[in-house]
Structure 1
């Protein structure tokens, strides 16, 4: 390919910003980032926004390379045949290659009353609205957090530390990712904060009303504000654009993150499903997938075969208010080990990780290609070998 090459990145989250910055390595590549907001959202701080300790946003000028053109708009359709992206405000942006990094958001709760009366927290706007609701609610009012993954635990702890009366409805178990030792550490801290934790086979929410939450065993919990953190969904942009996705809506790709439908479309982050075996939706995966998606594009431009994706995990860090936390160590295949750090050390480590991610983005903006860490997950390779011959057929690779 000769002349200037236009690469469009849809989505300015952790994966999208990493990809956009990495793409500026080549002088003949023009990078456009399409994002619905003019600021970068620190999504892993949204619970802090709700609790009033952080605004969870960073100026894009701090994390985005100067050569990246930012278009503040929402992509409504990808025209793969015409190689262009339609924008909500009108007009289109053409591309030679596209990085699909639309991320994830709140899932449809599919529980009677939840869509009407429960408050999601997965996006900046949802968290901002929730903070306003919480601020307007009497301090003694009962608050219920549904979902005991990291977001639910962190939100419950943040609000309880601020003096709120909080019940955390877990479903089957508190912190399903955690090793039992890490789980006990989280439970102790929540008890110290006064959070009522409800877990077990009957701790499933069956209905939400304006002022209560109903459980599977028939109990009704008074709830002035109900916060829904149970699960995440993916925007349906790929499906609406006629691209193949998995059941959740993530773009199906091969192991180089290339769409199974179009060699010029590459995915990264929560919205990618490489070989139908997507990684856990997380910032940890996104900051690894973003640079690798960019490298796939750069290699195709250079006429070099792209490399298979390599993502490994170190663990999961959970803040438990401003003064405690838990860092749950894990194997590279994302399974928890018996080792964890808790208390103030856990809080310090969580904050260090969160700050370091922004630092990584900024460093990649200044020195694209500098982030080279790849943690190999051997278990994934075993799964792929076991499924060989069953993965979706890839698209014609003629560029």
Structure 2
């Protein structure tokens, strides 16, 4: 009888769920998903949770394969030599292969007063903490949203649509990823909702107090509720476990998403740094990375050579309240084009995409191996970037050769 292979997936987000589901393609693979929450969180809807239009939660029974063991716990350490993880509950769990998909969360603001007086919303618990604070605040209270990436824009629009007096502090450019045409479209919508956009030089936040936000140019903006959406960070699990990471803490891997330290550890999602050239943190990257990570593990079990990463982007979608949105088209290597879909059609497309992501996960749960978007051609630009950095690639290869178990 064939020996069973134990695979532990750390993290039950977009990448982790996709990887766990796909791994069940082999009947001789047992999959354990370790996640600190009993439900799947739709992170791309957390701004809706804050605004009260969605709870941003889906039951794992709806997106996770029936044969997968869900362990509601937190991994506190990885012992690569022993192939064992330590759990917050006090136990341990052994693995033959490990998928590292711990995701991302709020970064340390590094700004005086921000940790004490501003509310981040990059996790379910953070968004749930902010919701009653907003509900208790007077309708006329000034709300300041710091950070003009997708989360900041979406949160500002969501709250302004409810009649809140919202100021969006960009710290520079509004929607840095967007093409100038898309940026103008977003600015018009925000203006129509009554959002005050504070952008340009001098708009970085230097301090947050109980009732104000201070900017580098000396301005002080009154703020009854301050929301912090600037920047992402990754858990320090890999660093604490002695694994090689990039400067941010993402696990360093080769182009098959295999750790440079150990070919039994594969990374996916926001916490992966393939060839030290990580992809943009997004569910658009996380889902195909989860599929690729699973395929790498399955290839190794089968004694086959894993296929390299083939990262392809379509663009970026941003909701602008419940009645408008924008889909910013991009080149396959994730550079914005001058084409976008805005207004109500943009909102419809954004909602279609949000629902579609859950459908992709559920579809893979029902029929493991059915997802195929990670195999869409278009990784030429990434190969160019890798070829342009031979010293970096050589260093990664040498590190992997030196550290892989023999």
Note whether the superposition's TM-score is higher than 0.5: yes
Q: TM-score, normalised by structure 2?
A: 0.97
> How many Å apart are 1:387 and its aligned residue?
1.4
Distance 1:287 1:312 in 2: 12
Question: What is the aligned partner in structure 1 of residue 331 from structure 2?
Answer: 331
Question: What is the aligned partner in structure 1 of residue 317 from structure 2?
Answer: 317
SS at match of 1:355: helix
> How many Å apart are 1:2 and its aligned residue?
4.8
> How many Å apart are 1:45 and its aligned residue?
0.1
> How many Å apart are 1:90 and its aligned residue?
1.0
Q: What 5-or-longer segments of structure 2 have no aligned partner?
A: none
Question: What is the aligned partner in structure 2 of residue 172 from structure 1?
Answer: 172
SS at match of 2:99: strand
Task: Report runs of 4+ in structure 1 exceeding 2 Å deviation.
Answer: 374-377, 388-391, 395-399
Question: What is the aligned partner in structure 2 of residue 201 from structure 1?
Answer: 201
Question: What is the aligned partner in structure 1 of residue 382 from structure 2?
Answer: 380
> How many Å apart are 1:282 and its aligned residue?
0.2
Question: What is the aligned partner in structure 1 of residue 259 from structure 2?
Answer: 259
CA deviation map 1:83-123 (0-9, x unaligned): 11111011011100000000000000001111111100000
Distance 2:379 2:341 in 1: 23
Equivalent residue runs for 1:53-202 within 5 Å? 53-202=53-202
Distance 2:343 2:217 in 1: 34
Distance 1:289 1:398 in 2: 24
SS at match of 2:326: strand
Distance 2:162 2:379 in 1: 40
> How many Å apart are 1:398 and its aligned residue?
5.4
> How many Å apart are 1:390 and its aligned residue?
2.3
Question: What is the aligned partner in structure 2 of residue 394 from structure 1?
Answer: 400
Q: What 5-or-longer segments of structure 1 have no aligned partner?
A: none
Distance 1:134 1:398 in 2: 52
Question: What is the aligned partner in structure 2 of residue 233 from structure 1?
Answer: 233
Equivalent residue runs for 1:286-301 within 5 Å? 286-301=286-301
Distance 2:299 2:217 in 1: 56
8 Å Cα contact 2:261/2:404 also seen in 1: no
Distance 1:223 1:349 in 2: 33
Question: What is the aligned partner in structure 1 of residue 214 from structure 2?
Answer: 214
> How many Å apart are 1:389 and its aligned residue?
3.9
Equivalent residue runs for 1:23-62 within 5 Å? 23-62=23-62
> How many Å apart are 1:388 and its aligned residue?
2.3
> How many Å apart are 1:378 and its aligned residue?
1.4
Distance 1:262 1:2, change over 3 A: farther
Answer yes or no: is 1:246 the counterpart of 2:239.
Answer: no
Q: Which moved more, 1:8-17 or 1:375-384?
A: 375-384
> How many Å apart are 1:394 and its aligned residue?
1.3
CA deviation map 1:32-80 (0-9, x unaligned): 0000000000000000000000000000000000011000001100110
> How many Å apart are 1:177 and its aligned residue?
0.2
Distance 2:379 2:28 in 1: 34
Q: Which moved more, 1:376-385 or 1:295-304?
A: 376-385
Distance 1:365 1:397 in 2: 32
Figure out how many residues of one structure are paired with residues of the other and give that number. 399
8 Å Cα contact 2:313/2:331 also seen in 1: yes
CA-based RMSD: 1.1
CA deviation map 1:240-285 (0-9, x unaligned): 0000100000000000000000110000000000000000000000
Distance 2:384 2:139 in 1: 52
Question: What is the aligned partner in structure 2 of residue 224 from structure 1?
Answer: 224
> How many Å apart are 1:377 and its aligned residue?
2.6
> How many Å apart are 1:4 and its aligned residue?
0.5
8 Å Cα contact 2:157/2:193 also seen in 1: yes
